[in-house]
Structure 1
Amino acid sequence: MKTVQASMAGTVLQVLVGEGDRVEAGQDVVILESMKMEVPVQAEENGTVTAVKAEVGAFVGDGDVLIELG
């Protein structure tokens, strides 16, 4: 299974994709807020979103799975 992981600890500000969406490598999928900066998290591979693990307002740690791709 392919995943998109948090690149740093922060709060989920926006989730830009939903289950069933097709994503391309390099596409922004989640926006984190860390140290008052907005940090986009990008998919590293092409795929279809099978699960969204990130919830707006939730705190995530570095390496936490945000999106699962099939």
Structure 2
Amino acid sequence: MNEVKASMAGSVWKINIQQGESVKSGQDVVILESMKMEIPIPAEQDGTLKELKVSEGDFVNEGDVIAIIE
């Protein structure tokens, strides 16, 4: 199990992978928006997106868990 965490505070602008879908290492799971910049948050391992913990528009802080990959 691998937790995908926010690298900085921001709003969830776009979700690229839905629960149950396969994901590859380096693939962007979500895109955050912070200070008018888009920040991609990639998966760190191959697997399946087991749980998505955010919705588009949610605000996250640095270190918050965004998703769980198995």
TM-score interval, smaller chain: over 0.9
> Residue 27 of structure 1 aligns to which amino acid in structure 2?
Q
CA drift at 1:5: 0.5
CA RMSD after TM alignment: 0.7
Matched with 2:25 is 25
**SS of equivalent residue, structure 2 residue 4:** strand
CA drift at 1:54: 1.4
Matched with 2:13 is 13
**CA distance in 1 between partners of 2:32 and 2:53 (Å):** 14
Q: How does 1:1-70 map to 2 (within 5 A)?
A: 1-70=1-70
> Residue 17 of structure 1 aligns to which amino acid in structure 2?
I
CA drift at 1:3: 1.0
**CA distance in 1 between partners of 2:61 and 2:16 (Å):** 19
Aligned length: 70
**CA distance in 1 between partners of 2:40 and 2:54 (Å):** 13
**SS of equivalent residue, structure 2 residue 18:** coil
Identity rate, percent: 50
TM-score, scaled relative to structure 2: 0.95
List alignment gaps of at least 5 residues for structure 2.
none
List alignment gaps of at least 5 residues for structure 1.
none
Off by >3 Å, runs of 4+ in structure 1: none
